Structure 1
Amino acid sequence: MEQKGYIHVYTGNGKGKTTAALGLSLRAVCAGKKVFFGQFVKGMKYSEVKALEYLPNFEMEQFGLNCFIYNEPNRDDIEVARKGLQRIKDIINSGEYDVVVLDEVNIALYYKLFDVDEVLEILKNRPKNIEVICTGRFAKEELIEIADLVTEMKEVKHYYNEGVMAREGIEC
């Protein structure tokens, strides 16, 4: 019997959204499921990219260039993100994966790299057994409405505010 897949949204200003999606991905792979992890906005080689070397049934692609978060996205940023969204649509519709992660899709939407209606259409028309995780700050209300699970990470205290920069294997 085919299981129903749910839509998760991990949002908020606290640390841990991508980390939670990676943890769920690890759990799914260890249960024999196949996972596709698409990272929007990100193009830098974060430590999790190495998971491809260690985890069977885990694939990851980045749909970003470097990091424009401190600037405005340019035409190349938009083009890469739009191609990434098409790739996600193809991956989801292939039925080849049990879990599909749209890491930082909320940030891509916030910066208007593509429209929320495009994402909603992909999610609503997906095969119903596919589990989808959407991460990133600033989740759109429309996405929250169709989600089955929404978790908000709230920053209470962060050592970044004390000048601690991102550390390899912990934040990147």
Structure 2
Amino acid sequence: MEKGYIQVYTGNGKGKTTAALGLAIRAICAGKKVFFGQFIKGMDYSELKSVEYIPNFKIEQFGRDCFIYNEPTEEDIKLAKEGLEKCRKILKEGKYDIVVLDELNIAVYFKLFTSEEVIEILKEKASHVEVIITGRYAEDNIVELADLVTEMKEIKHYYNEGVEARKGIES
């Protein structure tokens, strides 16, 4: 790819991370290298095992537990900022063709870092790197900078009927 674009997957509907994972698989099958950075997440999601099966794919979490029902701690903020700095370096180096910043919008929403900090690193990225940003509540300035924005809209979800996250489907 000569030019890498910035894509944002946002909204209240299910499927943002799943879409990013699907794009990652497609890119790897086309011979590309993918870095998948997960902000906020620190739990044992099934996709963490993918590196055992898929070449040219690296996934790393920059969080502890999912704190979204509480306030983020200083440790949560520290981990997120360290993750953002790592992603800055990865984006600038250009060794990966695709860089996914999973739940980055949520990290901004919870003020773990600012959208201005995000925009600064996006402007520094190697020109060929495609960036996928996921998470609800994408801020207007990130949407404005993006080349593609998809909003996932929840119409109906079995979670509202008491169905917990299922291994291999939601986790």
Same fold (TM over 0.5): yes
Q: Which residue of the partner structure matches residue 22 of structure 2?
A: 23
Match of 2:42 in 1: 43
Using the alignment, how far apart are the partners of 1:140 and 1:134 within structure 2? 11
In the alignment, what sits opposite 2:162?
163
Unaligned runs of 5+ in 2: none
Residues 129-152 of structure 1: CA deviation (Å, up to 9, x unaligned): 100000000000000000000000
Inter-partner Cα distance in structure 1 for 2:115 and 2:12: 20
TM-score, normalised to structure 1, is 0.98
Distance in 1 separating the partners of 2:65 and 2:157: 24
Per the alignment, residue 90 of structure 2 pairs with 91
Task: Give CA-to-partner distance per residue, 1:10-46, whole Å, 9 cap, x none.
Answer: 0000000000000000000000000000000000010
Paired residue secondary structure (2:89): helix
SS in 2 for 1:134: strand
Q: Give me the whole-angstrom Cα distance separating, in 1, the residues matched to 2:161 and 2:12.
A: 17
**C-alpha deviations, 1:68-94, integer Å up to 9, x for none?**
010000000000000000000011111
1:117 match: 116
Which residue of structure 2 lines up, in the alignment, with residue 77 of structure 1? 76
Give the aligned residue type for 1:154. Answer: K
Amino acid at match of 1:16: G
Instruction: Determine the structure 1 residue equivalent to 2:51.
Output: 52
- The ranges of structure 1 where at least 4 consecutive aligned residues each deviate by more than 4 angstroms after the TM superposition are none
Counterpart of 1:104, as a letter, is: E
Q: Partner residue of 1:134?
A: 133
How many angstroms apart in 1 are the aligned matches of 2:140 and 2:123? Answer: 15
User: Could you tell me which residue of structure 1 aligns to residue 144 of structure 2?
Assistant: 145
Percent identity over paired residues: 66
In structure 2, distance between residues paired with 1:89 and 1:123? 8
SS in 2 for 1:155: coil
CA RMSD of aligned residues (A): 0.6
Q: Quote the Cα distance in structure 2 between the aligned partners of 1:161 and 1:3.
A: 44
Secondary structure of the corresponding residue to residue 151 of structure 1? strand
Q: Unaligned 5+ residue runs, structure 1? A: none
Residue 25 of structure 2 aligns with an amino acid whose one-letter code is L
CA distance in 1, matches of 2:124, 2:97: 15
User: C-alpha distance in 1, partners of 2:23/2:146?
Assistant: 16
1: CA distance between counterparts of 2:85 and 2:118?
10
